[in-house]
Amino acid sequence: DCFSCAAERRPDLPPREQIYLDPHWRVAHAFGTAQPGWLVVLPRRHVLALDELTPGEAAGLGLVLRAVTAALREVTGCDKTYVALFAEAEGFGHVHFHVIPRHAALDRELRGPRIFALMGGDPARHVPDSEIDQMARRLTAALSARL
């Protein structure tokens, strides 16, 4: 029932699902979004709450978030990133951090938590998988220089 754990078990993950992997963390591009570069950082084991992280997972989290932000700034040219943790949607209770690039040109009506309006909705607005995979390869290269 856990989407994150099901993806973790797949042997054939596309580039967008394995932008970065280490023993504790996986970085993937979000699906169903109109925002290129919308990433998720997920623990590689099933974790439902932040306080369930091991000391090793917790220690690595800050390093991964820092590196992901730097890679997004390099690859997308964003001005800043938003980081959010909710993990409440059906099938998505597994802890995951949204790391979302925010560009200077982003409509003020979509800034802050309102950026989630770019998630879901009309599939015709979603970034195509082929574009996401291209970006994922660039992000993987940028992250490999940092982690």
Number of helical (H) and strand (E) elements in the chain, helices listed first:
3, 5
Q: Per residue, what are the HEC states of 120-133?
A: CCCHHHCCCHHHHH
- Which residue numbers in the chain have pLDDT < 70? none
Query: Residue 91's pLDDT is what?
Result: 75
Could you write out the DSSP letters of every residue in 21-77?
Answer: E-SSEEEEE-SSBSSTT-EEEEESS--SSGGGS-HHHHHHHHHHHHHHHHHHHHHH-
CA 134 to chain centre: 15
Q: Render pLDDT for 66-103 as a digit per residue (tens, 0 to 9).
A: 999 999 999 999 999 999 999 887 778 899 999 999 99
Please identify which residue in the block is written with the tokens 């040219």: 77
The predicted pLDDT at position 3 comes to: 84
> What local confidence, expressed as pLDDT, does residue 54 receive?
97
